[in-house]
Structure 1
Amino acid sequence: MTEMQRLLQGYRMTTAEILYHMPDHPHLLQSFIWQQLDLAPKFPVLTRFLDFWTHNLDGKLHSVRVGTMEIVRASDFSHAQGEWVVH
């Protein structure tokens, strides 16, 4: 599926700020920014990424803050009235 097809099906640009405990120093928190097209409100792509994180990476998750924005809306499309070619 192309990116434009996803946008037309309701996918939105999703940004997540992930705070996690550093593996070598668990009392310190590190920030990681993740950004991907995803479907709100269930966020299946982000959920898969966080599942991968918890099963494969050493840094234990502390918190996740999610923001999303619809990039393409129906009002953003309009039909062209004509086409002009200028040399």
Structure 2
Amino acid sequence: MQATETELMLKGYGLTTAEFFYRMPDHIHVLNSFVWQEYDLAPDHPRLFKFVDFWQREIDGPLHSVRFSHRKMLSDGQWRHVTGEFTLH
């Protein structure tokens, strides 16, 4: 069963965005880009490095460079468990 985005954020995951620059297989002087986003754990970024390994193993376009950023969407103290809600008129 896949974890929801909220569950991942509560476990410390943040949104990692990576831009891959790669060379076209038939035109080595042409750079193209690909944007990838996934919830990942900083500072090790296991999902990002797993994708880089996949790219190098399976994709014909050799990587030129990778630029990425990471943002933790939810930090300690920002989450409260609410068991009820009152509406005042």
Q: Which residue, 61, 71, 81 being the options, matches 2:63?
A: 61
TM-score, structure 1 normalization: 0.86
Using the TM superposition, give the Cα deviation of residue 31 of structure 1 relative to its aligned residue in structure 2, in angstroms: 0.8
1:4-23 counterparts in 2 under 5 A? 4-23=6-25
Counterpart Cα distance in 1 of 2:57 and 2:83:
54
Q: Tell me what 2:45 maps to.
A: 43
Counterpart Cα distance in 1 of 2:21 and 2:60:
13
TM-score, structure 2 normalization: 0.84
Counterpart Cα distance in 2 of 1:63 and 1:25:
17
- Structure 1 segments unaligned to the other structure (5+ residues): none
Cα RMSD (Å): 2.0
Q: Which residue, 8, 20, 35 being the options, matches 1:33?
A: 35
Q: Secondary structure of the equivalent of 1:58?
A: coil
Using the TM superposition, give the Cα deviation of residue 85 of structure 1 relative to its aligned residue in structure 2, in angstroms: 5.4
Runs of 4+ in structure 1 displaced over 4 angstroms?
79-82
Using the TM superposition, give the Cα deviation of residue 24 of structure 1 relative to its aligned residue in structure 2, in angstroms: 1.2
One-letter amino acid of the counterpart of residue 63, structure 1: S
Q: How many residues align?
A: 86
